[in-house]
Structure 1
């Protein structure tokens, strides 16, 4: 049975120097070409590049082709996306060589994952076919037969969790706003990290019994942050999350806004459901400038900070990720107890 299965799978792979080199799969090739934040294929994007960048692209393609002839681990040219080219155009030669290996490993992992999924599906189909040949009984338990329990799939669980967010919107639960207008002060690696933290924040919010209505303000859908977020959260436009290209004061009344900034003077004493709390959607690992406080002053809205000094002694700097912020605010909304809320801060950051 497995020999027949591998005969169906292996045409999509070729062995080179002892390694499986991914071939473009016809069903997903167009998907791999597409950019998520620009409606262009990689080929169309390359045609519109200026001549100096086009020369660098040709250099990159020649490097990959040369490595292929030398039987080295290199990515497939026809599976490179616009984001891959953008990354490589900004890299030095030595760093680009490492990136080729990373792309090769990623593409190979994707191909192996597709292969394993096809093997599982074919084995399951063959098992069901063998079961169908047997004489049916009135009550018979097992694969493809009767069951005492209703199967709960991952899709059902995700749908149920999303419905909690829809219910929060219908019941006018308090909003929590992430201000995504700081992309100009973040590096591309910090932008990627911010997208990952926003994904975790959405996930943690969805798990809570009474989630916030999550808003992303200053989110331009042509931006790098949106592109990274769309890679992290597939079908993000269908998810129960509010995305606005406008600034926070254009979406919410200024009198209700409270900007949570670590540099603010005032301290939050308790959670007020009449307020709309805003979290700066940025990762600032290098400079740690008070950009969120400056934004609050520029918009003439209130700014407050968490009482971290009162309850926690940090090892070094007092930095919290976006998902940790939403966990703290969810617990504060539920219990109105700062000690419980700040237990959400990871132990590795606390002294003693």
Structure 2
């Protein structure tokens, strides 16, 4: 199939008068560009192909770990030859091999290698996007400009008469808002003490959500004064977050990090832990309270850890009124990301309107009702030939009426 598509691309490039629709043209241009610049990126990173892991540093001169590491390298190579989702040997770093040594089963190692493979492809696509953007900019600068715009565009770097706002200026302006929030704003605690309850990829995902949380809070007109408590700077979570925010440990950075628990930093009577397992529903927003959000991504371990921790420490607990204002779709989880929780809190603090604040919940999780009034998320408009559930209704007494209703649903 790929050979046929490649031959079509060659014919189309040799015959410029060949009539093609816009979709085929875009596919051909994209295929030619990806083949051209993916090879350029591979040539650019050719010096990394011969990079081998530092076995002595990874295993710490342990003969058993050396033997196990060599077996794992052979296992990864076999999976790569079998066509599985395994990254290139040059992409796997020493810390990746150290993490693979800790995984107990082949299934866990396969999932981790799949995660690294997706990460590698994401970085390659990002490089392709940057290269394409650079080429488009060069073509734009070298292309002739119409003479009627000569009073706006100047010859030296195509400058104009308007003032340019640099990224550093915008960054300083947003950080100034956070400094004001440290003095006069309401405090918000992020509990980073669940690092041991998450696997490596969950810690990486949690760090990304914390970065988005910080960014969304900084872009708001009335941001919170963020406090990251139980933050272990040598742990996986903080190390992953440090990769996203390289300057977060500088003294001038507008973010608080506490190694201690929040009970040792703030008054216990003002603390309110936001957990989805709480019984008390948060109906009204309290501007004097100090809310706590648990920094946890529970894709594997779905135990009520935040509820158990708040109950053990004797802290007041509340949850969002999600069931009151939202209708959840079939099979959708009610979990929210950390940045979504922060956006909801910011809107509730500003407007005290839950219907407006819950707009940050993804629509894919909600019960979708179309214009005809039929619920499209329960029966997903499947093909009646592949939909097997109507056959089960034949065993009932009123099978004919139910079959007719089902058929009319599909016909609509």
TM-score (normalizing by structure 1): 0.72
1:40-71 Cα shifts (integer Å, max 9, x gaps): x9788426363322333344567889999xxx
CA RMSD, 1 decimal: 4.1
Query: Any idea what SS the aligned residue of 2:249 has?
Result: helix
CA-to-partner distance for each residue in 1:167-200, whole Å, 9 max, x for gaps?
Answer: 2113x20111111111222222222221121111
Q: How does 1:304-343 map to 2 (within 5 A)?
A: 304-315=318-329, 316-343=332-359
Offset at 1:150? 1.7
Corresponding residue SS for 1:328: helix
Whole-angstrom distance in 1 between the partners of 2:56 and 2:248: 25
Contact in 1 for aligned 2:197/2:301 (Cα 8 Å) = no
1:268 aligned partner: 282
Q: Report the equivalent of 1:36.
A: none
Deviates more, 1:159-168 or 1:233-242: 233-242
Measure how far apart 1:242 and its partner are.
1.3
1:295 and 2:314 are equivalent in the alignment: no
Q: Give me the whole-angstrom Cα distance separating, in 2, the residues matched to 1:216 and 1:49.
A: 37
**Given the superposition, is the C-alpha separation of residues 67 and 103 from structure 1 closer, same or farther in structure 2, using an over 3 Å criterion?**
farther
- TM-score with structure 2 setting the length: 0.62
Q: What's the counterpart of residue 195 of structure 1?
A: 207
Matched, 1:286 2:320: no
Quick one: structure 1 residues 288 and 155, their matched pair in 2 at CA, closer, same or farther if it must change by over 3 Å?
A: same
- In 1, Cα distance between the equivalents of 2:135 and 2:155? 21
Aligned to 1:249: 263
Matched-pair contact (CA < 8 Å) for 2:327–2:366: yes
Structure 1's unaligned 5+ residue stretches are 1-12, 26-31, 34-40, 128-138
Distance 1:254 1:103, change over 3 A: closer
Q: Which of 154, 161, 165 lines up with 1:148 in the alignment?
A: 161
Q: Residue 231 of structure 1 aligns with which residue?
A: 243
Q: Within 5 Å, which residues of 2 pair with 1:1-352? A: 19-20=42-43, 22-23=45-46, 45-46=57-58, 48=60, 50-59=62-71, 75=88, 77=90, 80-89=92-101, 90=103, 92=106, 105=121, 141-144=154-157, 147-170=160-183, 172-238=184-250, 239-315=253-329, 316-352=332-368
Superposed displacement of residue 140, structure 1: 8.9
Structure 1 Cα separation of the partners of residues 271 and 92 of structure 2 = 43
**Alignment partners' CA distance in 2, 1:218 and 1:298:** 16
* 1:236 counterpart SS class: coil
- Please identify which structure carries the higher strand content: 1
- Higher RCO structure, 1 or 2 (CA under 8 Å, sep 6+): 1
- Structure 1 range deviating more: 230-239 or 57-66: 57-66
Paired with 2:47 and 2:133, the residues of 1 have a C-alpha distance of: 16
Instruction: Tell me: CA distance 1:97–1:199, structure 2 relative to 1, closer, same or farther (3 Å).
Output: closer
For the pair shown, which has the larger CA radius of gyration, 1 or 2? 2
- For structure 2, the residue ranges without an aligned partner over 5 or more in a row are 1-36, 81-85, 143-151, 369-412
The number of residue pairs the alignment matches comes to 309
Does the Cα contact within 8 Å between 1:75 and 1:107 map onto a contact in 2? no
Contact 1:64 1:75 in 2 (8 A): no
Q: Partners of 2:179 and 2:55 in 1: how far apart?
A: 39
Q: Do the aligned partners of 2:198 and 2:301 also contact (CA within 8 Å) in 1?
A: no
Question: 1:326, 1:103 → 2: CA distance?
Answer: 26
For 1:286 and 1:101, locate their aligned partners in 2 and report how far apart those are by CA, in whole Å: 20
Return the alpha-carbon distance in structure 1 between the equivalents of residues 351 and 221 of structure 2. 13
